[in-house]
Amino acid sequence: MKMYDAGKIIVGIIVFVTLITFPFWYNRGKAAPSPKPKLLTREKECVEPTPYMKTSHMRLLNEWRNSVVREGNRLYISSNGKKYSMNLANTSLSDSCMGCHSKKAEFCDQCHNYVGVKPYCWDCHIEPKEKR
Amino acid sequence: MGVSRRNFLKIAGISLLGLGAKPAYDVFAGRDLPEFAQGEEAREAKRWAMVIDTRKCRDKDGCQDCILACHRAHNVPDVGNSRQEIKWIWTEPYENAFPNQEHEFLEETLKHRPVIVLCNHCDDPPCVRVCPTKATFKREDGIVMMDYHRCIGCRFCMAACPYGSRSFNWGDPRRAPKEKNPDFPTNPNFPTRTKGVVEKCNFCEERLVAGLLPACVEACKEKALIFGDLGNPDSDVRKVLRSHYTIRRKPGLGTGPAIYYIV
């Protein structure tokens, strides 16, 4: 069997394969580092158990939002009976999300940048001022 | 053999179901479901309402205490453009506040008296009826509330409100001119709004749950704004209403305003 222009074709195939596999061998042996949210709070536990918070904090926030705005509630009694103020960003309440997790950039943003979500909440809710 | 194949399968199936129920039981048993509650200091009412004594405003011409207090508490910026202004509480000339209740030969002082106006928190609010997303709704205690999370900015409510109590954010409030809003946001503990949503007075719902009075009521040194529960015959508003002649804005429309005026 004869192959016309064999040289060009083979070079072309090599260039093509190299380009298409570029991301694989370029990142060889290096996984993107997983995010390390810094806790920076003296408290021992979150509003709900940590595994639940990891996976479902956005759902909890939606529940809080509806309960506060639509039902006029302000207190959340968690599954282990502790009371928290249902509030996202009010730092005068020590038991709001940002009351405990006071540095958004070092906590929330660490994960969110990694997974590429940008909650629009901060268009309205005011980020706690970073104190240095 | 006592057990037929058929019966063996039945028993085995039921036992498997039992095993499957165990994890479900583990999840729910011993862990109470979370609950929601009002704050302990929350003020409650059957029907919140306000009486505004415009005679007291007359004596303090140009006083802006209530307006500034409200707008600072709720991060309402001065956008510096009267066609796009955002206002929760403001003043109108008497004849604009009370059309059909004025005439050519009105008492001189009345004619020039600025009248404090705000959302009327109506009994039968037209804005609630037209809102396609239920972003605006009426609470049990009479407060006409906005859920900014649901507002899609369609402005039907603005067209429906006969009192002009609603403002639209034509731009991002955080980009309002800095020279007019040097310390915006003035209250870091209350969210701002964003471009493309409508906003209005919330009767300081967030202060009532904390046991406080509305910011405008608290700020008025003349005590021209009286706030309380219409459902309670001994409340401040009921006492004032009993002893004074009061009018409401555009009563003929049947919206049932909860803001009463002594003129």
CATH number of the domain bearing residue B132: 3.30.70.20
Establish if B238 belongs to a structural domain: yes
User: Looking at the structure, do residues B11 and B77 belong to the same domain, yes or no?
Assistant: no
User: Looking at the structure, do residues B11 and B100 belong to the same domain, yes or no?
Assistant: no
Give pLDDT tens digits for A58-92: 999 999 999 999 999 999 999 888 999 999 998 88
User: Looking at the structure, do residues B24 and B144 belong to the same domain, yes or no?
Assistant: no
Residues in chain B: 263
| Structural domain range at position A41 | 1-123
User: Looking at the structure, do residues B181 and B217 belong to the same domain, yes or no?
Assistant: yes
User: Looking at the structure, do residues B216 and B139 belong to the same domain, yes or no?
Assistant: yes
Q: Which positions ≥6 away from B151 have C-beta within 8 Å?
A: B133, B135, B136, B197, B198
User: Looking at the structure, do residues B113 and B155 belong to the same domain, yes or no?
Assistant: yes
pTM over 0.95: no
Nearest CA among B205, B16, B189, B216 for reference residue B121: B205
User: Looking at the structure, do residues B55 and B27 belong to the same domain, yes or no?
Assistant: no
Averaged pLDDT for residues B177-187: 92
Establish if B27 belongs to a structural domain: yes
Establish if B164 belongs to a structural domain: yes
User: Looking at the structure, do residues B150 and B26 belong to the same domain, yes or no?
Assistant: no
Whether residues A75 and B39 touch (CB distance < 8 A) is answered with yes
* Torsion sign, CA atoms B58, B59, B64, B66: negative
Instruction: Determine the distance in angstroms separating the CA of A16 from the nearest CA of chain B, rounded to an integer.
Output: 47
- In chain B the first and final C-alpha atoms are separated, in Å, by 99
Distance CA B224, CA B114 (A): 13
Mutation site for B-interface testing, chosen from A74, A125, A129 by largest number of B Cβ within 10 Å: A74
For B29, the token pair is: 């048993």
Establish if A22 belongs to a structural domain: yes
Whether residues B192 and A124 touch (CB distance < 8 A) is answered with yes
Establish if A77 belongs to a structural domain: yes
**Among candidates B33, B35, B191 on the partner chain, residue whose Cβ is nearest the Cβ of A124:** B191
User: Looking at the structure, do residues B26 and B87 belong to the same domain, yes or no?
Assistant: no
Mutation site for A-interface testing, chosen from B189, B193, B203, B205 by largest number of A Cβ within 10 Å: B189
Q: How far is CA B187 from CA A110, A116, B19, B139, B195, in A?
A: 27, 30, 55, 25, 19
Reported as type and span, the H/E element at residue B168 is: strand B167-168
User: Looking at the structure, do residues B197 and B80 belong to the same domain, yes or no?
Assistant: yes
Please, what is the average pLDDT of chain B? 90
Strands B48-53 and B136-138, sheet pairing: unpaired
pLDDT higher than 70, residue B32? no
Reported as type and span, the H/E element at residue B198 is: strand B198-199
Establish if A131 belongs to a structural domain: no
Establish if B167 belongs to a structural domain: yes
Distance CA B228, CA A83 (A): 29
Buried b (16+ CB within 10 A) or exposed e, B129-152: ebbeeebbbbbebbbbbbbbbbbe
Q: Which positions ≥6 away from B197 have C-beta within 8 Å?
A: B148, B151, B153, B168, B169
Establish if A57 belongs to a structural domain: yes
Distance CA A109, CA B257 (A): 45
Instruction: Determine the distance in angstroms separating the CA of B139 from the nearest CA of chain A, rounded to an integer.
Output: 8
Mutation site for A-interface testing, chosen from B36, B137, B187 by largest number of A Cβ within 10 Å: B36
Distance CA B3, CA B24 (A): 31
Give pLDDT tens digits for A99-123: 999 889 889 999 999 999 999 999 9
Q: Looking at the complex, does the CB of residue B42 fall below 8 Å from at least one CB of chain A?
A: yes
Predicted confidence at residue B20, as pLDDT, reads: 65
Question: Which of these ranges, A78-87, B25-34, B58-67, B100-109, has the smallest mean pLDDT?
Answer: B25-34
Return the DSSP state at A63: H
Provide, as residue numbers in chain A, all residues whose Cβ is less than 8 Å from the Cβ of B39. 74-75, 85
| Structural domain range at position B101 | 48-262
Q: Looking at the complex, does the CB of residue B194 fall below 8 Å from at least one CB of chain A?
A: yes
Establish if A7 belongs to a structural domain: yes
